[in-house]
Structures are given as structure tokens and as C-alpha cells.
Chains A and B, each alone.
Chain A
Amino acid sequence: MRVHSPGIALAFAITLIFSSSSIAQSTPPSKPAAPASVDQSHDLSGVWFNDHPRPLTTNERYWIYKFNLEEPPMTAWGKKQYDATKSSFGTREYPLAETNDPLYHTCTPPGLPRVYLHPFPIQIVQTPGEVLILFEYDSMRHQIFTDGRPHDTTLGPLWMGDSIGHWEGDTLVADTVNFNDKTWLDRIGHPHSEALHVIERIRRPDYDHLVDDITIDDPKAYTKPWTTRIEFLLKPKWTLAEQFCEDEESFQSLDKNAAAPAK
């Protein structure tokens, strides 16, 4: 995490998309964009960091590898997938040489919502047509379109899914589908299928706090939807550092920063 004195300003933002070539891309169904102004009463902008107390033992800190202390309600299929996973830490850890965590031996994306479990900050940038969540972890992004478009059904299965959202009062309700099945749901190996449907309710109860209530709805893997809550603390002096999975040195620089607590 980079620390700097001037705070991150929370303000109106505009989004422009540019291209230097005519390579075709998948586009959303054309819907006239009707930009609304960013309502300052629900501005989620800023750099945020997962807000948990830091007890001593790894096993007490379940939130670094799974979402809830209690086990999620897996189907028979889900349980079978879970039994085959070999995570590299947590309560069922295997030696690194034996882990089959898809992230460990490659630098493929962690997927959603797993990315929220990686202990690095996020930056939310909000514009009239989208809420963009940037992750320090491997430069991932979670782009939630709030301009009224439907899900894009022409997209193939995605690592981070296809996200749209709308406001209910001060809460951003984000809906994500179109996932591939190449990721774990969390860091200990709980599964999901391509039918995964993630609903988030994101709100800012006060200036320094953000809450994301995440519902996992995947009938193939879980007998019923279940919910977890992630809480974030505003870090006004932080900015996202560079972090590229392929570059081991970027992880080393983070270890040095861990010894010097950020302000």
C-alpha cells in the first residue's frame, strides 16, 4: 500500500472510453445512456481495506481464507468438489508442493468473490454510469454498470463475471452472473459452478466504513443461498500499489510495508 499525505478526494467523476484501433469488442446492447449525476449521499469512493481485528492464530482468522466461520450448505456435488481441493493454508492446509489451488501454480485471476479475501486494499471510483472497484491484488477490477443495461448474454463465461447494479436508497445492489468454473469460491477450496450468481448490497454507513453483504446463490453447489458480510475501513492516505502476480518482487515489497504500519 502506498501512503501519501493528501487525502483521496471524493467527487464527481466522468468516464471516457478510447481506442486506438478498430478491433471489434463485445458491446452491450445499445441503450441510450442517460447519465445521472453522482449523488453525494451515496458516494462509495475511496481506498478501502478489510476491517477485521487481528487475533494471533491463523485458524482464528478464518476471514483470510473463507467467508464465514460456519461451513456453507453444500450440495452433494459441492461437497465432492470441496473434498478434492487441497488448499495451501487454513484449517485444511497442504504443503505448497501439493496444493491444487488454481492461483498457486499459475497467475490466473482469483474470481469473484474470492478476490475480496486477499488481504490487499481496494479502490472504489464512482461515475454516473458505473461503480468501478479496483483491487490492488493483481490489478483486478470489478466493474458494476449502473446505467440500466441488462446483463450481456453474448459474453462467454468470465473470471470476474458480468456485473450490473442499481441503487436502493443508499445501498448499491450489484448482480453478477456469467462466471466460468475455473476459480474457487474462497481460499480454502469451497466450490462454485458456472451457475454462480452473486448479489452484493454495498453501503457506506458512515464516512469511514463500508459494508458489503454478499449473497452466494449457486443451486448446483449450495442447497440454498447464503450470505456473508465484509466490512471495510476507509484509508484516506493510501493509494493502490503495483502488484503483479507474475512478479514475485512486488509481493516482497508488500512484506516490507507490513512492518511499517500505514497511517
Chain B
Amino acid sequence: MTPWAQEQFKAAKPSFGPNASPLTETNDPIYHTCVPMGFPRIFLYPLPLQIVQTSGEVIMIFEYDSVRHQIFTDGRPHDTTLGALWMGDSIGHWEGNTLVTDTVNFNDKTWIDRMGHPHSAALHVIERIQRIDHDHLVDDITIDDPKAYTKPWTAHLPFVLKPKWTLAEVFCEDENSFQEIEENETKPAK
């Protein structure tokens, strides 16, 4: 992290993890409101995602709050007329069997993760997404944000296919939907 980022990180009070604060003291932006958690933080939330692919785009739909990560693969450039976005503006292209995505135009209202690591509006996220076999997907995510990080760094997210699952309804505003997930946690999926 840069000095600016370390300052942001020290001020963050996540609700869990090694630096956890009590819930009443957390300043996690998604805790007291239902604002979007942003990208790539949404990947860290333990709920499934569904990928739908057409010839012009790859759409990731997240069970959490039905948020979309819409990656346009039809050759369009980034849309510079858009204001700062929660999920950024994503375009992508194929390199062999790897989808390379490029996301910019972020607002600065989200945390990078659930611990409070920061990002600025200059955040640039590059993903390399590959289906290494029928049941496994890998997303190598590069965080490139010179204001917050002294150099780009990469995270490796593995996914397993769930052929019998469908996305449930999960709405942040509806506390009951979270209770159903907790009940479901006691029943292992097939």
C-alpha cells in the first residue's frame, strides 16, 4: 500500500477478521446501509454467481442483491461518458480460452475487500478468467491502483461448478433472506 492507502486502512474498522470491531462501531460502508459492495469485493461474499454468455457479452450475476458484472466482448471501448460506477465499466476480449477483462470508471465509495483495504477512483481491475476443466473456473484478478498500491498485485479465485444450483433471492434490505441462508448452511448441498 502507498502511504495514502495505509492511512485509509488504519481508519477502516471492519466487522470481522483479525482487526474486527464490534458491529456498533464498524464503519464498513455496507454494514449500516445497503449500498453495493462494489467490484471486486463482491467475489469475497460467500454466495454463488451465475455466468451467462452471449456472443457480445459475458454477464456475471451475483446472488447477493442480484448485482451484475457485465463484460462487453463486442469490441466496444470503455464508455467515458459514464460517471463513477459502483461496479465499474467492463470490457473484455478472448485470448485463446481465457477471457481477459478490463474494468475502470469506479467510484471510491467501496472497500476492496471485507477487511477495509482501500482503493481510489483510479482503480483498474484486470481479470483473466479461464475454465480449466468442466467443473472448475479460475479468475486471476489484478488490482492496479497507483494511488493506493505501489505496484499491481494479483489474487487467484477458484470456483467450482454447481450444476444443480440456481441463484436464490437475496436482498440486502430484506433481513429475512439472510436468515434463510443461515438455515440452509446446516444442510450441505449435494
Residues of A within 8 A of B (CB): 2, 4-6, 8-9, 11-28, 30, 33, 45, 106-109, 125, 127, 132, 134, 139-141, 143, 145, 155-156, 158-160, 239-242, 244, 246-247, 249, 253
User: What is the distance, in angstroms, from B86's C-beta to the closest C-beta of chain A?
Assistant: 6
Does B132 sit at the interface, judged by CB under 8 A? no
- Chain B, range 152-190, C-beta contacts under 8 Å to A: 157-169, 171, 173-174, 176, 180-181, 184-190
CA A184 – CA B80 in complex, angstroms? 38
Q: Nearest Cβ in chain B — how far from A193, in angstroms?
A: 18
Q: B residues near A, CB below 8 A?
A: 33-36, 43, 46-57, 59, 61, 63, 65-68, 70, 72, 74-76, 79, 82-83, 85-87, 131, 137, 157-169, 171, 173-174, 176, 180-181, 184-190
With A109-B171, A145-B166 in contact, do A9 and B74 touch (Cβ < 8 Å)?
Answer: yes
Contact status A125-B50, CB under 8 Å: no
Q: How far is the CA of A52 from the CA of B68 in the complex (A)?
A: 28
Tell which of B34, B75, B82 touches A107, judged by Cβ atoms closer than 8 Å.
B34
A24 adjacent to B52 (CB under 8 Å): no
Determine if B61 and A141 form an interchain contact, defined as CB atoms under 8 angstroms apart.
Answer: yes
Given the contacts A17-B166, A139-B68, A127 and B157 also touching, CB distance less than 8 Å = no
How far, in angstroms, from A11 to B72 measured CA to CA in the complex? 14
How far does the alpha carbon of A48 sit from the alpha carbon of B185 in the complex, in Å? Answer: 38
Given A12-B55, A23-B184, A27-B189, A107:B48 Cβ within 8 A: no
Question: How many CB-defined contacts (below 8 Å) exist between A and B?
Answer: 166
A45 to B184, CA, bound (A): 34
Cβ-defined contact, A24 with B70, below 8 A: no
22 A-B Cβ contacts within 8 A? A2-B79, A6-B76, A8-B56, A13-B54, A16-B137, A17-B49, A17-B165, A18-B51, A19-B47, A20-B159, A21-B46, A23-B48, A23-B181, A24-B187, A25-B165, A27-B165, A28-B166, A125-B52, A141-B61, A155-B168, A156-B180, A159-B174
Residues A108 and B52 in contact in the complex (CB < 8 Å), given A20-B158, A24-B185, A247-B36:
no
A134 to B184, CA, bound (A): 26
- Given A6-B74, A242-B87, decide whether A139 and B67 contact each other with a Cβ distance below 8 A: yes
Given A11-B54, A17-B48, A18-B162, the answer on whether A140 and B66 have CB atoms closer than 8 Å is: yes
A23 to chain B, nearest CB (A): 5
CB pair A45 B76 closer than 8 Å: no
User: Which one of A16, A30, A109 lies within 8 Å of B50 (CB-CB)?
Assistant: A16
The 5 nearest A-B residue pairs measured at CB = A19-B48, A18-B159, A9-B56, A11-B55, A24-B189
Q: Least Cβ distance of A146 to chain B in Å?
A: 13
Partner of B82, one of A2, A19, A45, A140: A2
A25 with B173: CB separation less than 8 A = no
Highest count of chain B CB atoms <10 Å: which of A18, A132, A242: A18
Considering the complex, give the chain B residue whose CB is closest to the CB of A126.
Answer: B54
- For the A-B complex with A15-B50, A244-B86 known, give 10 more contacts whose Cβ atoms are closer than 8 Å: A6-B76, A9-B56, A14-B53, A16-B50, A17-B50, A17-B51, A25-B184, A108-B173, A109-B174, A246-B35
Whether A239 pairs with B181 at a CB distance below 8 angstroms is no
Instruction: Tell whether, in the assembled complex, residue A125 and residue B59 are in contact, meaning their CB atoms are under 8 Å apart.
Output: yes
